[in-house]
A and B are shown apart, each in its own frame.
Chain A
């Protein structure tokens, strides 16, 4: 029996993990990544530290990338899957990249096409793109990675930074009914980083609920308030205006004080949610995968078969099926790898029995 050949679409944490496990198990992995590098969104947007252990992205993902590259997996960066045709003996795929097209025959496909940050321009009342001091997650992660926390409007160190949770999540007005799962943790992590870098900057988190589930509760939420003095204000900011001195005025209701609150802030970070990436939607259409009601890929059974799909031979992992943290994506990548390998093995046994 020839070694199973499996196509992985997407080179983020989930895809890398799948590629590593497939090659480790003696399979042949073809990893297709549209960007010119591996590592996915965390690398592309220059994330800083990762929750909850506050390790730098490089420390978490670089060993994974290195081991995939050394494992013998075929990594095609700057490439795109043009078409997939399923036949009697697996799939025939066309991959374009570097100005040429190649055709490959593979036994199974693992979809690891990931997510995109929700575009905060759509929430006009927060004036993202109007006031330079209103920024979002990815802008602030970049700022932290560069180690330079300054107000984009005037280049000065802010005195007071606030985070606004649930921007583009849990919001009927923008059609996002789900929780992004990470907004709380990432906001709190960013606030802690700010306080560690410069304790003179005061940090406030405007929340409806704090959803730091599991061990993130004490590792992030409790730690942030107890050790770093991050303050929490219960109330969702309704709109952001500009004050006389160029500072931002967050119009909110302080629901504990039960009164309107118009407090001046120097910077507001919008905790933008997650949605299915364009790549996820395109790939799902190409492979004939069903999307669930929130726009992500629908697993065969979300409870018992989270990495299988209704299309035989196609598996899905990571944030393509919904908001997820990096460790969960890595775990799912491994799960999709073993499911794909088992699919190929079972099918070849069947073919042999028939012969």
Chain B
């Protein structure tokens, strides 16, 4: 049978032996190609329930697959990361297709939270939060590993939980030291620091500010985090 939609065949589903002989006939290479079946054999309802239970994940079931989010997405359209398709991630979450989501484990976390999708969604899906929650559930289930994105979230949370006020300088230094992103050279960092201090985008200096009464409030925040399943930031 001729294959009509070759673009749908994924590399890992293509089974092919370089050398093969059957009944004395040489069937090496393309002659012995098999393609694994791409069958959807079940739905898994618990996945979407878990996404829904997280804060910000409630709107995951609002999605009707129009594609407004994806077509305006910074990553998908402007940056050209075509695999990043929030519409598709949401559908996979809705029907609980974890196997397919797993393939995008290294893509989903790359959302830069520009929130254009949230602005434009006609059904009021909080796309950015929902996609982050899908990523979170995948990690909680051990389907995907920690990513630079999730480590950033963790560093961010720890930072803000310390005093109740975000310390941008400490946050950046800690993250950059741990992750060592290639682009963040010393010169780049220094130039950036001058720029953002000058234009007022950074408000913290060497002295850390504190939220008044933070000790009491921290307890409340920790309780909420624990309730929502995030390991408390103690």
Stretch from B60-68, B145-153, B160-168 forming part of the interface with A: B60-68
Contacts A231-B94, A233-B95, A258-B8 hold; do A225 and B42 have CB atoms under 8 A apart? Answer: no
A229 contacts which chain B residues (CB < 8 A)?
48, 52, 61
A265 to chain B, nearest CB (A): 9
Contacts A204-B43, A231-B95, A263-B42 hold; do A225 and B61 have CB atoms under 8 A apart? Answer: yes
A263 contacts which chain B residues (CB < 8 A)?
40-43
Bound together, the chains give a CA A90 to CA B45 distance in angstroms of 64
Interface residue? A102 (CB, 8 A): no
Structural contact, B38 and A260, CB atoms closer than 8 A: yes
Bound together, the chains give a CA A340 to CA B63 distance in angstroms of 49
Interface residue? A170 (CB, 8 A): no
Structural contact, A202 and B45, CB atoms closer than 8 A: yes
* Tally of A-B Cβ pairs under 8 angstroms: 50
A259 contacts which chain B residues (CB < 8 A)?
8, 38-40
Structural contact, A222 and B123, CB atoms closer than 8 A: yes
A157 to chain B, nearest CB (A): 15
Bound together, the chains give a CA A64 to CA B65 distance in angstroms of 42
B119 to chain A, nearest CB (A): 19
Bound together, the chains give a CA A231 to CA B90 distance in angstroms of 12
Structural contact, B40 and A226, CB atoms closer than 8 A: no
Interface residue? B133 (CB, 8 A): no
B94 contacts which chain A residues (CB < 8 A)?
231
Interface residue? B175 (CB, 8 A): no
Interface residue? B97 (CB, 8 A): yes
Interface residue? A290 (CB, 8 A): no
Structural contact, A264 and B123, CB atoms closer than 8 A: no
Per-position 1/0 for B87-115, Cβ under 8 A of A: 01001001101001000000000000000
B182 to chain A, nearest CB (A): 36
Bound together, the chains give a CA A165 to CA B5 distance in angstroms of 27
B123 contacts which chain A residues (CB < 8 A)?
222, 226
Interface residue? A2 (CB, 8 A): no
Cβ < 8 Å to B, chain A residues 202-234: 202, 204, 222, 225-226, 229, 231-234
B143 to chain A, nearest CB (A): 18
Bound together, the chains give a CA A264 to CA B48 distance in angstroms of 18
Bound together, the chains give a CA A174 to CA B65 distance in angstroms of 30
Structural contact, A260 and B61, CB atoms closer than 8 A: no
Contacts A202-B45, A256-B91 hold; do A226 and B39 have CB atoms under 8 A apart? Answer: no
Structural contact, A264 and B62, CB atoms closer than 8 A: no
Give the interface size class of chain B. 20 to 34
Cβ < 8 Å to A, chain B residues 33-89: 38-43, 45, 48, 52, 59, 61-62, 64-65, 88
Structural contact, A225 and B5, CB atoms closer than 8 A: no
Write the chain A residue with the least CB distance to B38: A259
Structural contact, B62 and A258, CB atoms closer than 8 A: no
Interface residue? A35 (CB, 8 A): no
B65 to chain A, nearest CB (A): 6
Interface residue? A331 (CB, 8 A): no
A198 to chain B, nearest CB (A): 14
B97 contacts which chain A residues (CB < 8 A)?
257
B161 to chain A, nearest CB (A): 33
Cβ < 8 Å to B, chain A residues 148-184: 160
B64 contacts which chain A residues (CB < 8 A)?
225, 232
Structural contact, A261 and B39, CB atoms closer than 8 A: yes
B5 to chain A, nearest CB (A): 7
Bound together, the chains give a CA A132 to CA B101 distance in angstroms of 36
A310 to chain B, nearest CB (A): 44
Bound together, the chains give a CA A260 to CA B64 distance in angstroms of 20
B209 to chain A, nearest CB (A): 41
Write the chain B residue with the least CB distance to A252: B40
Write the chain B residue with the least CB distance to A234: B65
A58 contacts which chain B residues (CB < 8 A)?
none
Contacts A231-B95, A234-B65 hold; do A258 and B40 have CB atoms under 8 A apart? Answer: no
A204 contacts which chain B residues (CB < 8 A)?
43
Q: Which residues of A does B touch, CB under 8 Å?
A: 160, 202, 204, 222, 225-226, 229, 231-234, 254, 256-264
Q: Which residues of B does A touch, CB under 8 Å?
A: 5, 8, 38-43, 45, 48, 52, 59, 61-62, 64-65, 88, 91, 94-95, 97, 100, 123
Beyond A257-B97, A262-B40, 20 additional pairs, beta carbon < 8 A: A202-B43, A202-B45, A204-B43, A225-B61, A226-B61, A226-B62, A231-B43, A234-B65, A254-B40, A256-B88, A257-B40, A257-B100, A259-B38, A259-B39, A260-B38, A261-B39, A261-B40, A262-B41, A263-B40, A263-B43
Q: What are 29 A-B contacts defined by CB distance under 8 Å?
A: A160-B43, A202-B45, A204-B43, A222-B62, A225-B61, A225-B62, A225-B64, A226-B59, A229-B48, A231-B43, A231-B61, A231-B94, A233-B95, A254-B40, A256-B88, A256-B91, A257-B40, A257-B91, A257-B100, A258-B5, A259-B8, A259-B38, A260-B38, A260-B39, A261-B39, A261-B40, A262-B39, A262-B40, A264-B42
